[in-house]
């Protein structure tokens, strides 16, 4: 097998994207972070010829594609997790029950003989968004202007995929343990042809809560209560709230949510950018440097009305071991109330 494909586990119904070509990725990381420019880094300004041709760039002064003068730059992932191409535009697909076309049990639900080893092509979009022309190795090293430009680029590139993709996923991996193969700070953006099971479950809970409460918004009500209780609240401003979630899956996990219910991150202006800087500052102060982390944006799937975007940050502090992997139940030895208290102190 060489081309990426989607497989659905027969027992859980959860998808896996098999992308064998990604095994060829170069692992290029240093144990100590340095702000010095890396002469070998393909993401630094002046090295535009070392990446695939760019898909988008923020060039305040204009200029030709794949040339210096950019603030943020997007390029196709050299080792994509999904197959790309204009003739392979992803189509929206339900994730619930046995509705997924590639689910090996779907045929059995219709009374036909199931193909227990069926698969389908993994098609979509996978690109890298480079946060700065300078060799920044951490979100904490970005200036306020650089971070604002980077988050604006996230939204711009996400909007460009929402017409065709069933779901758009933006992630940031910082540090080798978090999955980064290149140290230069960057995000990855996926346009998927399906709604992942975790997102589908969240969508269903938003919709059910909206119906049962005659129009209530689940995350808005959570935010209101977190502000009232203040036990897990880290920071609040006019636009957003930062808190350690009630059922945090790992130590110092953070959730950034807009105070006004908005389904899509990409359609919410600049909301949350200032609070993201606060989150980075809190973690940096608490750990005397930003720890390795994973960051992701949860936004509404295409066509979904009852949703509320949020941005989650999971520092790579604990170890995910056999119990977590075998049960999908996380063990967190650091309660969110303690994490929030220490982060509040760090901001003081």
For residues 123-148, give the mean pLDDT: 96
- Cβ–Cβ under 8 Å, residues 220 and 303: no
Do 253 and 296 meet the contact criterion of CB atoms below 8 Å apart?
A: no
d(CA 200, CA 217): 16
pTM comes to 0.89
1-5, 160-164, 289-293, range with the lowest pLDDT = 1-5
Tell me which residue has tokens 């636009």: 239
Quote the percentage of the chain above a pLDDT of 70. Answer: 86
The burial of 281, by beta-carbon neighbours within 10 Å (0-12 exposed, 13-18 middle, 19 or more buried), is given as middle
**What is the phi/psi pair of residue 187, to 5°?**
-110, 160
Please check the confidence at residue 30 and state whether its pLDDT lies above 80: no
How many Å separate Cα 118 from the centre of its chain? 28
Most confident of 67-81, 104-118, 329-343: 67-81
Region of poorest pLDDT, from 122-126, 151-155, 168-172, 185-189 = 122-126
- Residue 90 has a pLDDT of 44
Q: Tokens 């420019």 belong to which residue?
A: 37
- Answer whether 105's CB lies under 8 Å from 43's CB: no
- CATH number given to 5-192: 3.30.428.10
Residues of the chain within CATH 3.30.428.10 domain(s) are 5-192, 197-347
Average pLDDT of the residues in 250-264: 95
Mode of pairing for the β-strands spanning 310-315 and 72-76 = unpaired
Residue 314, beta-bridge partner list: 294
In CATH, what class is 197-347? alpha beta
pLDDT of residue 28: 53
Mean pLDDT calculated for residue range 275-295:
97
Quote the CA–CA distance of 34 and 16 in Å, as a whole number.
35
> Does residue 89 surpass a pLDDT of 60?
no
Q: Are 240 and 259 in contact (CB under 8 A)?
A: yes
Q: Sort strands 56-58 and 15-18 into parallel, antiparallel or unpaired.
A: unpaired
Over range 280-296, report the average pLDDT.
97
pLDDT at 187: 98
In eight-state DSSP terms, residue 116 is T
Lowest mean pLDDT among 29-38, 52-61, 205-214: 29-38
Kindly tell me if the per-residue pLDDT of 20 is higher than 50: yes
pLDDT at residue 244, rounded to an integer: 95
- What is the pLDDT at residue 174? 96
Distance CA 207, CA 218 (A): 9
Output the furthest CA–CA distance in the chain (Å, rounded).
64
Confidence of residue 35 (pLDDT cuts 50, 70, 90): very low
Does the pLDDT at position 61 exceed 80?
A: yes
């Amino acid at each position: 097998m060489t081309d990426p494909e989607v497989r659905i586990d027969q027992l859980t119904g959860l998808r896996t994207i098999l992308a064998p070509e990604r095994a060829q990725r170069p692992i290029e990381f240093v144990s100590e972070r340095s702000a010095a420019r890396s002469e070998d880094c393909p993401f630094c300004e002046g090295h535009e010829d070392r990446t695939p041709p760019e898909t988008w760039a923020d060039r305040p002064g204009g200029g030709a594609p794949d040339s210096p003068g950019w603030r943020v730059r997007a390029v196709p992932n050299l080792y994509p997790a999904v197959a790309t191409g204009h003739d392979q535009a992803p189509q929206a697909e339900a994730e619930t029950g046995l509705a997924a076309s590639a689910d090996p049990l779907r045929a059995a639900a219709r009374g036909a003989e199931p193909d227990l080893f069926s698969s389908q092509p993994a098609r979509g979009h996978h690109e890298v968004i480079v946060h700065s022309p300078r060799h920044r190795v951490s979100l904490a090293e970005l200036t306020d202007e650089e971070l604002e430009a980077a988050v604006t680029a996230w939204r711009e590139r996400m909007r460009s995929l929402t017409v065709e993709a069933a779901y758009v996923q933006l992630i940031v991996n910082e540090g080798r343990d978090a999955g980064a193969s290149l140290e230069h700070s960057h995000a990855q953006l996926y346009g998927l042809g399906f709604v992942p099971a975790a997102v589908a479950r969240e969508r269903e809970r938003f919709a059910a809560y909206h119906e049962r409460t005659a129009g209530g918004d689940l995350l808005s009500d959570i935010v209101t209560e977190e502000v009232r209780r203040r036990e897990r609240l880290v920071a609040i401003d006019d636009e957003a709230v930062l808190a350690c979630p009630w059922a945090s899956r790992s130590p110092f996990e953070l959730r950034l949510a807009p105070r006004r219910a908005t389904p899509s991150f990409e359609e919410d202006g600049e909301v949350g950018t200032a609070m993201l800087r606060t989150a980075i500052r809190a973690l940096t102060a608490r750990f005397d440097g930003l720890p390795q982390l994973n960051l992701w944006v949860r936004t509404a799937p295409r066509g979904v009305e009852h949703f509320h975007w949020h941005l989650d940050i999971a520092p790579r502090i604990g170890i995910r071991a056999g119990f977590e992997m075998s049960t999908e139940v996380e063990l967190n030895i650091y309660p969110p109330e303690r994490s929030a208290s220490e982060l509040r102190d760090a901001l003081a």
